[in-house]
C-alpha cells in the first residue's frame, strides 16, 4: 500500500519544495492546482528525481472538486499527509475570491479528506502572519462557527464584515480574515479528526522567496527590519517544517498553529505602528 501525500498549491514555492522533500522520503506525491498543464514542469522534475508523483486539477473552492481529489487520493493508496498550501494573496483576486479560496477552500479540503484519512495521518492547513498582524477586533469570530453548519451563511457573515471597509482595502482585509479563520478552523478541527487518530494543525509562514512572495517584496522590506532574521525565508526551510510536523513521530502535536516568520511577530510589530 503506497503512502500518499497530497499537496495543494504543490506546483511551485513552498508546496513544491515540500513535494520534493516528502517524495524523497518515499511518499507518492499528488500535487494539486487549478490546471494540470501548469503542473507539468513540476511533475517532470519530480519524476527525474525518481519520485512517484502525479498532478491533479482541483478547484478548492468547490466542495465536489475536493471530494473527487480525496477519492482519487484514496484510490492511490493510504492517505497519510495532506499539506493544504493553496490560496490567494491580496494581489491575486478580489475580496470574495480570496475568501472563497482561503477560507472556504480550507473547509472543503478538511471536510473532503476527513472521509478518507486513517489513523496516523496529518493535515496541515496554511495561514499567514497577517492573521497575527491585523487588529483582532476586525475578525468576525462569531461567524466562524457557521463553517460547520452552513457554508453559504458562513460566507455571508465573512463578506458582511469585509464590505464594511473601503473598496481599496477589501482584498487585504479579506485575506487577513480568511487566514485568521484558517488558524481557528485547524485548531478546532483537531477534536473531530482526533477521534480517527488523525492530527490537524496549521503553519503560518512569514515572507518567503516564492512566486507569491515576489508579489509582497515591497511589504516584506518594511517588516524585515523588525525580524530577528533579516531576510526572507527559503522554501526548503518551511518544507522541512511541514515534513517534520507531519511526521508520525510527532504524534502528540495537534490543534495548534506553528509560526515560521523569522521572529517578525515576536518583535511586536504591527501595521498600526510602522
Interval 148-177: pLDDT, tens: 999 999 999 999 999 999 999 999 999 999
Grouping H, G, I as helix, E, B as strand and the rest as coil, residue 166 is coil
List the grid coordinates of 54.
502525479
pLDDT at site 271:
65
- Is residue 173 within 8 A of residue 165, CB to CB? The reply is yes
Closest C-alpha to 65, from 111, 98, 99, 28 = 111
The residue extents of the domains of the chain are 3-260
Digit-coded pLDDT (tens) for 101-140: 999 999 999 999 999 998 999 999 999 999 999 999 999 9
Residue % of the chain over a pLDDT of 70: 95
For residue 208, give the DSSP letter: B
pLDDT at site 16:
95
CATH class of 3-260: alpha beta
- Is residue 34 within 8 A of residue 256, CB to CB? The reply is no
Digit-coded pLDDT (tens) for 216-245: 666 767 788 888 999 889 999 999 999 999
Digit-coded pLDDT (tens) for 40-52: 999 999 999 999 9
Closest C-alpha to 178, from 125, 238, 229 = 125
SS3 content of the chain, % helix, strand, coil (to 5): 55, 15, 30
Residue % of the chain over a pLDDT of 90: 80
pLDDT at site 259:
97
Grouping H, G, I as helix, E, B as strand and the rest as coil, residue 56 is strand
Average pLDDT rounded to a whole number, residues 34-42: 88
Amino acid at each position: 500500500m503506497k503512502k500518499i501525500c497530497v499537496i495543494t498549491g504543490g506546483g511551485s514555492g513552498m508546496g513544491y519544495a515540500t513535494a520534493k522533500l516528502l517524495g524523497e522520503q518515499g511518499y507518492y506525491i499528488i500535487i494539486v492546482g487549478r490546471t494540470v498543464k501548469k503542473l507539468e514542469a513540476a511533475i517532470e522534475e519530480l519524476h527525474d528525481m525518481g519520485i512517484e508523483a502525479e498532478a491533479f486539477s482541483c478547484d478548492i473552492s468547490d466542495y465536489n472538486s475536493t471530494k473527487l481529489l480525496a477519492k482519487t487520493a484514496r484510490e492511490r493508496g493510504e492517505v497519510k499527509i495532506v499539506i493544504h498550501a493553496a490560496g490567494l494573496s491580496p494581489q491575486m483576486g478580489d475580496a470574495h475570491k480570496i475568501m472563497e479560496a482561503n477560507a472556504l477552500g480550507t473547509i472543503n479540503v478538511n471536510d473532503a479528506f476527513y472521509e478518507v484519512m486513517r489513523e496516523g495521518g496529518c493535515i496541515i492547513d496554511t495561514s499567514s502572519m497577517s492573521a497575527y498582524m491585523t487588529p483582532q477586533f476586525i475578525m468576525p469570530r462569531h461567524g466562524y462557527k457557521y463553517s460547520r453548519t452552513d457554508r453559504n451563511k458562513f460566507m455571508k457573515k465573512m463578506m458582511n464584515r469585509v464590505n464594511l471597509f473601503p473598496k481599496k482595502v477589501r482584498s487585504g482585509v479579506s485575506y487577513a480574515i480568511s487566514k485568521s479563520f484558517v488558524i481557528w478552523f485547524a485548531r478546532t478541527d483537531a477534536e473531530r479528526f482526533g477521534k480517527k487518530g488523525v492530527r490537524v494543525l496549521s503553519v503560518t509562514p512569514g515572507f518567503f522567496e516564492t512566486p507569491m512572495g515576489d508579489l509582497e517584496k515591497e511589504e516584506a522590506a518594511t517588516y524585515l527590519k523588525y525580524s530577528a532574521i533579516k531576510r526572507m525565508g527559503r522554501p526548503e526551510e518551511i518544507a522541512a517544517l511541514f515534513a517534520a510536523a507531519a511526521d508520525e513521530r510527532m504524534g502528540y502535536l495537534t490543534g495548534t498553529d506553528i509560526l515560521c516568520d523569522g521572529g517578525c511577530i515576536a518583535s511586536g510589530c504591527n501595521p498600526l505602528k510602522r
